[in-house]
Amino acid sequence: MTAPSDFTAHDELLMRRALDLALLGQFTARPNPMVGCVVADAQGRIVGEGWHRQYGGPHAEVNALAAVPPETDLAECRVYVTLEPCSHFGKTPPCADLLIARGVRDVVVCNADPNPLVAGRGFTKLREAGIRVRTGLLEAEGRRLNRRFFAVQELGRPYMILKWAESKDGFVAGAGGQPVAISCPTSRMLVHRWRAEEQAIMVGTRTALNDNPQLNVREWPGPDPLRLVIDRNLSLPAGHHLLDGSQPTVVYTNREQPDADNLSFVTVPPSQDLLPAILDDLNARRVQSVLVEGGPALHNLLLQAGLWDEIRVLRSLHVRIGAGGVVAPSLNLTGLREHRALGADELFVFY
Ligand code: AOF
Ligand code: ZN
């Protein structure tokens, strides 16, 4: 990694632009990482930029270099790219080779690529060609942007986000699991945005039974997530939203049940641990992130297993449920990264 003092404010400004571009691939690049690239001339002016738009399509560097006017002398330019240029032949040829062939002499990067097919080889290729390569600019921002990709590459499982809404007095539902409207309309919209941002959304049996949730995205633009529900004994009644085939849904069960349209049943024998089996299945489906919407039994299970990366709690400022309600998971955590008012709620984010 390059010392932070080696980068100027101008470098940082241009790398922020590259990160902004990367985000434009949010829904289309996965399971590839989001990557942005900016080419600046000797005066530091942007002469070309691009991002990885589509899984299987050209990488950010290819698009950025294609946007540079042909008369530009790339040897005088600096290339800012948010991820280490790749060194392998995947669905596309190596970006490191392209940068070398086009005569680039100066490259700045946020993050090394954890993909074992690359993992430093991109840097080596560039340096062996005599290119100045510096890395680590806005490293934390780059990791946060691609936290789902990094989780899969480094932890071998999807990025897990636990989310719940709790009343002012710390309950998530009324007595016997009776659903209670806790969140304000602004929070509800935000939750739909969160659903669109993750590839899958998961609930446990009790929440599925009590709430009959649709787990789709209605209050925000964006794709519907894959729905995941744990239902060991196949207790969800026909006619339940999660079984309606309206969007792809996976049921994890101890029983055997044939798949139907948009509905697949994954049998996990009772002798087998459920969570590892679910993670294996999600890896096989190349799911990079899961928003776990409850209930507290599932949240507590994941908390105890250490299977979480981020926790988002919406706490009402006004709604009280009173003794007898379903108690919210208890958190004894450091790492509160965000705490703010959100309409009639407060949002707490831990990671
Ligand atoms: C880059 N620039 O914009 C991206 C990179 O199958 P492929 O050829 O698309 O390669 C996918 C892998 O390439 C992906 O897992 C990651 O390691 C890297 N992504 N690399 O130089 C890019 N998206
Ligand atoms: Zn590449």
Q: What is the pLDDT of residues 261-284, one digit of tens each?
A: 999 999 999 999 999 999 999 999
pLDDT tens readout for residues 100-123: 999 999 999 999 999 988 889 999
> Residue 186 — very low, low, confident or very high, per pLDDT cuts 50/70/90?
very high
- Given a cut of 80, is residue 1 above it in pLDDT? no
**Distance of alpha carbon 171 from alpha carbon 193, whole angstroms:** 23
Q: Locate tokens 């989780």: which residue?
A: 151
177 with 226, same domain: the answer is: yes
- Taking alpha carbons only, the member of 255, 243, 241, 199 closest to residue 223 is 199
- Strand segments, DSSP code E, in the chain are 36-40, 46-51, 78-83, 106-111, 132-135, 159-166, 171-173, 200-203, 226-230, 249-253, 263-267, 289-292, 310-316, 326-327, 336-342, 345-350
Residue 206 lies in domain: 157-350
313 with 286, same domain: the answer is: yes
- Given a cut of 80, is residue 146 above it in pLDDT? yes
178 with 291, same domain: the answer is: yes
197 is in an annotated binding site: no
**Distance of alpha carbon 266 from alpha carbon 286, whole angstroms:** 16
Q: Are 159 and 310 in contact (CB under 8 A)?
A: yes
123 with 11, same domain: the answer is: yes
- Which atom of ligand 1 lies nearest, measured to the CA of 33? 23
Query: Which residue's CA is the closest to the ligand 1 atom numbered 10?
Result: 90
pLDDT tens readout for residues 202-241: 999 999 999 999 999 999 999 999 999 999 999 999 999 9
Q: What average pLDDT does the structure give for the chain?
A: 95
- Which atom of ligand 1 lies nearest, measured to the CA of 52? 3
Q: Are 51 and 36 in contact (CB under 8 A)?
A: yes
In this prediction, residue 302 carries a pLDDT of: 96
Which of 59, 62, 154 for a ligand 1 pocket mutation test, highest count of atoms within 8 Å of Cβ? 59
Please tell me the number of the ligand nearest to residue 37's CA.
1
Active site residues: 61
337 with 275, same domain: the answer is: yes
Distance 59 CA to ligand 1 centre (A): 6
Q: Is 58 in the pocket of ligand 1 (CB under 6 A)?
A: no
Residue ranges with CB less than 5 Å from ion ligand 2: 59, 86, 95
165 with 137, same domain: the answer is: no
Token pair listed for 217? 């995205």
178 with 41, same domain: the answer is: no
245 with 131, same domain: the answer is: no
Mapping DSSP to helix (H, G, I), strand (E, B) and coil, where does residue 125 land? helix
In this prediction, residue 2 carries a pLDDT of: 75
In this prediction, residue 69 carries a pLDDT of: 97
- Given a cut of 90, is residue 18 above it in pLDDT? yes
Distance 85 CA to ligand 2 centre (A): 5
Q: How many CB atoms lie within 10 A of CB 145?
A: 24
pLDDT tens readout for residues 27-76: 999 999 999 999 999 999 999 999 999 999 999 999 999 999 999 999 99
Domain end among 148, 167, 194: 148
In this prediction, residue 330 carries a pLDDT of: 82
The CATH number for 56's domain is: 3.40.140.10
2 is in an annotated binding site: no
140 Cβ contact list (under 8 Å, min separation 6): none
Checking 267-273 for CB contacts under 8 A at 24+ apart, the result is 270/232
- Judging by beta carbons within 10 Å of its beta carbon (0-12, 13-18, 19+), is residue 310 exposed, middle or buried? middle
The CATH number for 344's domain is: 3.40.430.10
Average pLDDT score over residue span 274-299: 96
Which of 79, 83, 104 for a ligand 1 pocket mutation test, highest count of atoms within 8 Å of Cβ? 83
225 with 297, same domain: the answer is: yes
* 256 φ, ψ (degrees, to nearest 5): -100, 130
Average pLDDT score over residue span 310-315: 96
Helical segments of the chain, H only: 9-23, 60-66, 95-101, 121-128, 139-145, 147-155, 185-197, 205-211, 274-284, 296-304
Domain end among 113, 130, 148: 148
Query: Which residue's CA is the closest to the ligand 1 atom numbered 17?
Result: 115
Domain end among 130, 148, 166: 148
Rg of the chain on CA atoms, in Å: 23
Query: Is the N-terminal amide bond of 276 cis, ω within 30° of 0?
Result: no
In this prediction, residue 281 carries a pLDDT of: 97
**Distance of alpha carbon 303 from alpha carbon 299, whole angstroms:** 6
- Taking alpha carbons only, the member of 86, 125, 84 closest to residue 108 is 84
* 173 φ, ψ (degrees, to nearest 5): -160, 170
Query: Could you give the number of structural domains in the chain?
Result: 2
DSSP class of 75:
G
203 with 331, same domain: the answer is: yes
97 with 170, same domain: the answer is: no
Average pLDDT score over residue span 10-19: 98
Average pLDDT score over residue span 126-150: 97
218 is in an annotated binding site: yes
Token pair listed for 66? 């294609």
- Given a cut of 90, is residue 333 above it in pLDDT? no
Please tell me the number of the ligand nearest to residue 150's CA.
1
In this prediction, residue 334 carries a pLDDT of: 82
In this prediction, residue 5 carries a pLDDT of: 73
170 with 230, same domain: the answer is: yes
* 167 φ, ψ (degrees, to nearest 5): -75, 170
pTM equals 0.93
